[in-house]
Structure 1
Amino acid sequence: MGSTICLGLISGTSLDAIDAAACRFDEQGRWQGLLATRSHPYPPGLRGELLDLQAQPDQKLSLRDFARMDAQVGDCFAEAAQALLQQAGLSSAQISAIGSHGQTVFHDPQQIGTSLQLGDPNRIAARTGIATVGDLRRADMALGGQGAPLVPAFHQAVFASDLPRAVVNIGGIANITVLPANPQQAVFGFDTGPGNGLMDEWIQLHRQRTYDADGGWAASGVAQDALLRAWLAEPYFAAAAPKSTGRDYFKLDWARHPADLSAYRPQDVQASLLELSARSIAEALLRAAPQSAEVLICGGGARNGELMRRLAELLAPRAVRSTSAAGLDPDWVEAAAFAWLAWRRVHEVAGNLPAVTGASRSAVLGGLYRP
């Protein structure tokens, strides 16, 4: 059969852009590497609408607007895939499948037991001419799982070694994967809480920037113990796994609830938000994976030097480094994971880890949409 190429598409909770990755897999579905990558921006107006919808899930929204946004996101994802193919000199005939995560706008595993991603996969398949896998979370949730995080299965496939490792994906929300050295032991993971999301919201509000480059603004402030004590009392942090969360929960309204943020210098609040992310991640790792010898970081947080510095301090003597050290650029791990999940859906291979999500059994994930 030889190797195959699949595309992975995802826009995370930060809505920075649509990440697209072309990945090669061998005939057994084993990862062989990245062929090409692309970061494809949303139109500013649509991005703003999506951020509002994500942050305010109880707002009134007409079915017409909801349907329009679903179609628009699908078109944007299709454009990202087409631009990547053109950039890489690949034809649609060379691609086995596209795995499209879509854009999460709602995630509630506890009360409703469902998750909602926009980006009609029918439109992606029709515009690209490539079979598209979408709706990847809800099969797991129908089996009682959290539907998240899904990337630990890919982390296991790519990053497992003869040393105990942990992988931390820091997007808008952070999640961890614990990879035991013994392959007979179960891999597990969960969402730890805030990643970059709260910091992004705060700097957008005060400095009209979409993110804090290298954590420079946070580094100019001083973390406030009173804020950290109030925030770290959040019950989610102490809750047992499996668990998952989203930016509809960890948003600025959440941060404002136990504290008057206007009483502090804005840069001190930013420093405190960075410290919150660092501590909640580190404390979760120290509880869940005390034996880990190495911690690999991926996602946008790997580019935040100040956050990486604090994680290294909090997790010492463990080595803390980006996934580049293990052969995969931290910016493209999630997109690659959804290419991998697409391969597994096409070949009817389970894609979830019940030990991570809490599902009653393994399941083939996603619907397959033909062009």
Structure 2
Amino acid sequence: MSDFYIGLMSGTSMDGIDAALVEFSQDKINLVAHHSHNIPPALKEKLKLLALDAPEASIDLLGEADTELGIIFADAVKTLLKHSGIKAEQITATGSHGQTIRHRPDLKNTFSIQIADANRISYLTGITTVADFRRKDMAAGGEGAPLAPAFHQQVFHSTKENRAVLNIGGISNITFLPADTSQACFGFDTGPGNTLMDGWIQKHQNHAFDNNGDWAASATADNELVKQLMQDSFVLAKPPKSTGREHYNLSWLEQQLTDFKHLNTAQVQSSLCQFTCDSIVYGIQHELPDIDTLIVCGGGAHNRHLIELLSHKLKENRIKTESSESFGVSPDWVEAIAFAWLARQTISRLPGNIPAVTGAERDVVLGAIYPP
């Protein structure tokens, strides 16, 4: 018997809402339909103010953004269903990651806040909604992130070779999938993904992202700047670890550029791309056992220049780099599908975290359930 679930994801880059309609049948996972839903520019600005703790980031702004985003997430679900021909009554549940506005696993009293009011999503769509996935893991002593590794293990594991799954979103995270099932799967955030490159090109060229990495490829990375960036405390920290815009943002970057005012903007972009590559490679070389294949997903999989840099570096370690497309899952939809899967885990009262990834004391059922 088939179960239909919807996964909703809005990542660090805030470039829109990914909505995936997923069919689960026995051990098979089928992406039935997908839809990318725009976040209005005015709301995106509010979210950025909240994420960066700007002076304008009031409690009223938080509350209004939570409500507005919940309505837009519901619109994304309704549009997805309209395109798919599947009715709301056929959907078991929606899993909503929400939009992270603050993630602080580094504080004594850890917390993580994702907004997009699940009450609104469930009421407006008529579909049970699962949300607030991170905080139960934190209650169990974990970082609350990354959460996709349990799904990666389900979909990409092989008994024939050691694999790793690299998701390059706003932040990059990696999951180690040992062929030997007696070994533990684990993962962590490696550092920036697209967030610094996106922020820099938005500031200087008014583009949302560096298409194919063409701007970065037009210049040469500055070795001294890359060397300095690689001394970042998060990159060098041991797992479990997770991060976000609280750490990697334009204010952080401006501080890093204090002694590099002689570089032009394209050289900085090239250096940021190299930094993203090198921080990923550092995580692989220092924290992962030997792997045979690196499976890449997320928006960064389309950054041709970044993938070329990464492939070249990893060839030295005899590691193949392949898109998740080669394994039957589009790189753009892995994360949204993961939250459909996590919702299914919650509805089935099954764990959704991996303690070896997040540092939690034990595996736990994640999320809160909001009936329609």
Stretches of 4+ aligned residues off by more than 6 angstroms:
none
Please give the secondary structure, in 2, of the residue aligned with 1:61. coil
Aligned twin of 2:37 = 40
Is the Cα contact below 8 Å between 2:13 and 2:170 reproduced in 1? yes
Measured after TM superposition, the shift of residue 254 of structure 1 is 1.4
Aligned twin of 1:124 = 121
Measured after TM superposition, the shift of residue 58 of structure 1 is 5.7
Please give the secondary structure, in 2, of the residue aligned with 1:320. strand
The amino acid across from 1:251 in the alignment is N
5 Å matches for 1:1-371? Answer: 2-27=1-26, 30-54=27-51, 56-57=52-53, 59-111=55-107, 112-162=109-159, 163-260=161-258, 261-316=260-315, 317-371=318-372
Structure 2: distance between partners of 1:236 and 1:138: 22
Measured after TM superposition, the shift of residue 64 of structure 1 is 1.9
Once the two structures are superposed, what CA deviation does each residue of 1:259-305 show, in whole Å capped at 9, x if it has no partner?
A: 32532110000000000000000111122224100000000010000
Structure 1: distance between partners of 2:256 and 2:68: 37
Measured after TM superposition, the shift of residue 110 of structure 1 is 1.4
Is the Cα contact below 8 Å between 1:8 and 1:20 reproduced in 2? yes
Identity over aligned pairs, percent: 45
Aligned length: 367
Please give the secondary structure, in 1, of the residue aligned with 2:306. helix
Please give the secondary structure, in 1, of the residue aligned with 2:227. helix
Is the Cα contact below 8 Å between 2:46 and 2:61 reproduced in 1? no
Is the Cα contact below 8 Å between 2:49 and 2:56 reproduced in 1? no
Structure 1: distance between partners of 2:280 and 2:314: 10
RMSD: 1.1
Structure 2: distance between partners of 1:204 and 1:119: 25
Measured after TM superposition, the shift of residue 52 of structure 1 is 2.5
Structure 2: distance between partners of 1:357 and 1:289: 15
The amino acid across from 2:121 in the alignment is I
Which stretch shows the higher mean deviation, 158-167 or 60-69?
Answer: 60-69
TM-score by length of 2: 0.97
Please give the secondary structure, in 2, of the residue aligned with 1:312. helix
The amino acid across from 1:169 in the alignment is N
Please give the secondary structure, in 1, of the residue aligned with 2:208. coil
TM-score by length of 1: 0.97
The answer for unaligned runs of 5 or more in structure 2 is: none
The answer for unaligned runs of 5 or more in structure 1 is: none
Structure 2: distance between partners of 1:276 and 1:345: 37
Is the Cα contact below 8 Å between 1:296 and 1:321 reproduced in 2? yes
Structure 1: distance between partners of 2:205 and 2:56: 29
Structure 2: distance between partners of 1:35 and 1:185: 33
Measured after TM superposition, the shift of residue 197 of structure 1 is 0.3
